[in-house]
Structure 1
Amino acid sequence: MPPRHASKVRTVGYKDISSTLIREIKEGVWALNELLPSEMDLVERFGVGRNTVREALRELQALGYIRRRRGARSVLASHDPDGGFVNSVRSVSELLDYAETAHSVHLGAEHIRVGERLAQRLDCPPGSEWIRLGILRSREPGGDPFCLSEIYVDPVYQDVLKVLDNDNRIFPLLEREFDIVLQQVVQTIEAAEADANIASRLKVPIGSPILLVRTTFRGSDGRVVEIGLAHFPAGRYKVRISLDRKPA
């Protein structure tokens, strides 16, 4: 006997699910900050596998409609979000959630010794050595990239690249594989211009305005274990930060 909903599994894709949910969101089926149906509810409703539902929810998050947290139901963040890739942040752990939901293309890894100019960008001593990993991120395969990430890892931990998982975030793997406790995350955001390399990767003219985000990760001993440089072209990325004030 064929499995239940077998015919639907072949015809319903994540785009169909996300389009249906977006239409319902715009129609006001859910109020702002209301919980959406669980993944299993959506699996039953659409007759698809859980991975298909997760892809649909990732797309809704990328578009800025919902907020997602592991182990919890999605929350409606906006009925009509702006265009571009929106990263909704409520805590330190969500600063780099866009790396999990975006489509990522790895550009390779190399062992480098930084010169004066790069040392200034990384805020590290000239001549220091790092493993550099390049990742190009877009909302979907074939779409215009919204971020060029350069991730610098202390060579002591270079083996982490061998276990790089699908969400493309290094710091959780450093904690897991090397028993490191990451104590501090410092993020610096500034306006910049796209040089020839960045412009080519992001498909924008040289000198175009970009957002340059440097994220530095320190262990409990104060040592810098990872530095990330993320380059976002104007109009393709937005951070939405919501912080709850603790009661006095």
Structure 2
Amino acid sequence: MDAPVPKARAGAPGYRQIAEALVREIAGGRWIVGECLPSEMTLVERFGVGRNTVREALRELAGRGYIERRRGARSVLRSATPEDGFVNSVRSVEQLIDYATFGHATLLTSETVRLDAALAQRLDNTPGTEWVRVGILRRREEGEDPFCYSEIYLDPRYQDIVPLIGEETRLFPLIEEHHGVVLRRVLQDTEAAAADANIASRLNIPAGTPILLVRTRFYSGDGALVETGLSHFPCGRYRVRIALERPA
């Protein structure tokens, strides 16, 4: 018989309760590495919650390195003792930016900035133009050191979505929903860098610490640049796994 849903911590969302219950069962050996977890509908029936809540719980487990999620199939147990840090497994464009749906995010700043020459070069943009800069800090778990600090530069035409940032901390889905703009193209560059004083203070690391700097640009269907994100990942707290399959 399935164990009952554990008593929630004060203020804990339903998906976190479910994730913690599954983690305990994984640690207890209920499934072995390579086995499939129950289907989403089985978990919906077991826990008495909606499908979105179950999906958030599975995203949580994927973000913590326990499972590998597969579109149209059941999740597979990847590790009963996952690595430290955040792991982003990438199989599609959607998953390329899916790390932003995991864990806890805190909105730190929101301001309009005019790009000087140095910042414009970092963003591959035009000096003198104005953009809305949004700062978001991401943690895998509450109380942990952050695994990412993102500075997102948003076309001012869409700045009305900033107050809507909450559980959804990816800006583009909010733009699509409220402005009817459809994402058609994503470009992402990754490079090694050293944390400057500002980034270091956000990530709780010494200035000069090696980081992974990821620049992601989002374009609408008409080719207009809508959003550019600079995401900073400190050494040892984040890793990307890319899985590619050749057609049969």
**Same fold by TM (over 0.5)?**
yes
Could you say which residue in structure 2 is the equivalent of 1:17? 21
CA shift digits 1:130-180 (9 cap, x unpaired): 011110000011111000011111001111223334131111222222121
Amino acid in structure 2 at the alignment position of 1:139: R
Shift of 1:123: 0.8
Could you say which residue in structure 1 is the equivalent of 2:147? 146
Alignment of 1:135-214 (within 5 A): 135-214=136-215
Shift of 1:72: 5.7
Which runs of 5 or more structure 2 residues have no equivalent in the other structure?
9-16
Aligned length: 238
Could you say which residue in structure 1 is the equivalent of 2:31? 29
Shift of 1:120: 1.3
Could you say which residue in structure 1 is the equivalent of 2:11? none
Distance in 2 (CA, whole Å) between partners of 1:10 and 1:80 is 21
Distance in 2 (CA, whole Å) between partners of 1:208 and 1:160 is 33
Could you say which residue in structure 2 is the equivalent of 1:68? 69
Distance in 1 (CA, whole Å) between partners of 2:246 and 2:166 is 34
Distance in 1 (CA, whole Å) between partners of 2:241 and 2:107 is 26
SS in 2 for 1:162: helix
Which runs of 5 or more structure 1 residues have no equivalent in the other structure?
none
Shift of 1:22: 2.7
Distance in 2 (CA, whole Å) between partners of 1:190 and 1:107 is 24
Alignment of 1:112-131 (within 5 A): 112-131=113-132
Q: Is contact 1:164–1:170 with CA below 8 Å preserved after alignment?
A: yes
Q: Is contact 1:30–1:36 with CA below 8 Å preserved after alignment?
A: no
Distance in 2 (CA, whole Å) between partners of 1:162 and 1:16 is 30
Which piece of structure 1 moves more, 155-164 or 192-201? 155-164
Could you say which residue in structure 2 is the equivalent of 1:222? 223
Could you say which residue in structure 2 is the equivalent of 1:92? 93
The 1:235–1:56 alpha-carbon spacing in structure 2 relative to 1, beyond 3 Å, is: same
The 1:228–1:181 alpha-carbon spacing in structure 2 relative to 1, beyond 3 Å, is: same
Q: Is contact 2:154–2:228 with CA below 8 Å preserved after alignment?
A: yes
Distance in 2 (CA, whole Å) between partners of 1:230 and 1:23 is 32
Q: Is contact 1:214–1:227 with CA below 8 Å preserved after alignment?
A: yes
Q: Is contact 1:150–1:228 with CA below 8 Å preserved after alignment?
A: yes
Aligned residues with identical type, % of pairs? 55
The 1:72–1:157 alpha-carbon spacing in structure 2 relative to 1, beyond 3 Å, is: farther
Q: Is contact 1:107–1:136 with CA below 8 Å preserved after alignment?
A: yes
| C-alpha RMSD of matched pairs (Å) | 2.7
SS in 1 for 2:112: strand
Amino acid in structure 1 at the alignment position of 2:25: L
* TM-score where L is the length of structure 1: 0.84
SS in 2 for 1:11: coil
Which piece of structure 1 moves more, 48-57 or 76-85? 48-57
* TM-score where L is the length of structure 2: 0.84
Which piece of structure 1 moves more, 188-197 or 177-186? 177-186
Amino acid in structure 2 at the alignment position of 1:154: D
